[in-house]
Amino acid sequence: MSDELGDIPSRTLPVSARAPGKCIVFGEHAVVHGAPELVFAVDLMTQVFVTAGSATRLNSDDDAVRRNAYFRAALEASWKGGRPVEVRAISRIPKSAGLGSSAAFVASVAAAFGAATGGVGRPALAQRSFEIERAAQGVGSPGDTSTVVAGGFVAVNGGTGEPLWTVQTPDRRWEVRRVNDPGWVWVVAYSGITRSTADAVRAVSARLAAPGGPALLEEFRQVATEGITAVGRGDRAAVATLLRRNQELLREVGVSHPRLEALIEAAAPAAEGAKLTGAGAGGSIVALPMPGKEAELVRRLARAGALPFVVRPAPIGVTLLER
C-alpha cells in the first residue's frame, strides 16, 4: 500500500481533516446500476475541524443535527454515544453542483471521527463514508465517496488497475480500482443551477427500467469501459469522442439542462470534448481543454455565465492535517 493510501491514524481531539471534491469523467448514473464509472479527485478541498464541545454543533448551528442529514448520518455511523463535538467546516467546493461537496464533507468528518475513536483503515473509511452518504441521500453509488477517500483517478466496476477495495450494500458489490492519471489539466464549470442528486438518480432509474432502458445502460457501460482505457493510456482524441457520446446518453436519459447544453456549446471552440458531470439536471460540466487554450476556455465559460475552475486531479485523498 502506498503512503497516501495509508490508514487514518488514532488521534485525540481536536482533529482536523481535509478531503478533495470529485469530478466524474464517465459513467455517472449508470454506475448506480452496476456499470463502470471513471472519477478523479479534484483539487478543490473541504476542511473540517473537530473539537470537544458543550453541545454538538456544526458551524455554530445548535440545530444542525436535525437540519443536516449528512452531519446526522455521520454522527450516527461513527460517533455513537460519543461526547458532544463542535465541527467547523469550510469548503471551496460549490454545494449541490455535482463536484462532490457532500462526499468531501462526509469523508472528512468520518476521517476525523475515525481518528478520534482509535483510527480507521482506508477501505473501512470508504465503506463508512458511502453508508453515511447513502443514509442521508437514500440512493446512489460509492463512486463519489471512494474517490475522495482514495484521491487520484479511480474506476468503479471497471478497469484493470490496482484493486483498492470493494464497497458492499445488501444488494450490490462495487469494486474500486486505481487508474493511471495521464497528467492533463481539466476545466469544470458550475452552471449556478442547484439540484437534488436523489431526484435525478430516481428519474434516471425510472428511465432505465422503462422499455429501451437496458439497451441504454449497455451503451453507458461501453462508453465508460472504453473511456477508462482511453484515459489510462492518455489517448486524448478517444477521450474527447467518448465525452461527447456520454453526453448524448445523459441527454437521452433526461439529465441534461438547457444551461448545460449552452455551456458545452460555449466551450466547443476551446475544448476537445465536454459533458455534464455528476447528477446533472443543473450542476456542472467538465471539459478537456485544447492544449494551450485553457485560459480561453475559462473565459468562454465565464462569459456564458458559469463559474469555471481549472482543476487537476488531487493525488491524495482524505487526510488528517497536522496540528
Chain residues that interact with ligand MEV, rule: CB under 6 A: 24, 28-29, 31-32, 98, 140-141, 143-144, 197, 201, 278-279
Is 99:286 a contact under the CB 8 Å cutoff? no
Report the distance separating Cα 148 and Cα 159, nearest Å: 18
- Closest separation between CB of residue 103 and ligand MEV, Å? 8
- Closest separation between CB of residue 78 and ligand MEV, Å? 20
Residue nearest to ligand MEV (CB): 140
Report the distance separating Cα 29 and Cα 217, nearest Å: 9
Q: Specify the long-range contacts of residues 65-69, CB closer than 8 Å, at least 24 apart.
A: 69/135, 69/136, 69/137
- Closest separation between CB of residue 30 and ligand MEV, Å? 8
Nearer to ligand MEV, 143 or 317 (CB): 143
- Closest separation between CB of residue 40 and ligand MEV, Å? 13
Nearer to ligand MEV, 32 or 150 (CB): 32
Is 45:19 a contact under the CB 8 Å cutoff? yes
- Closest separation between CB of residue 219 and ligand MEV, Å? 16
Is 105:75 a contact under the CB 8 Å cutoff? no
Q: Which DSSP letter does residue 76 get?
A: H
DSSP H helical segments within 192-311, as ranges? 197-209, 213-232, 236-252, 258-267, 294-303
Report the distance separating Cα 175 and Cα 170, nearest Å: 15
Paired residues of 138 in beta bridges:
none
Nearer to ligand MEV, 97 or 266 (CB): 97
Please name which of 207, 197, 179 lies closest in space to residue 281, comparing C-alpha atoms. Answer: 197
- Closest separation between CB of residue 206 and ligand MEV, Å? 14
Nearer to ligand MEV, 133 or 294 (CB): 133
Nearer to ligand MEV, 198 or 307 (CB): 198
In the block, cell 478517444 appears at 238
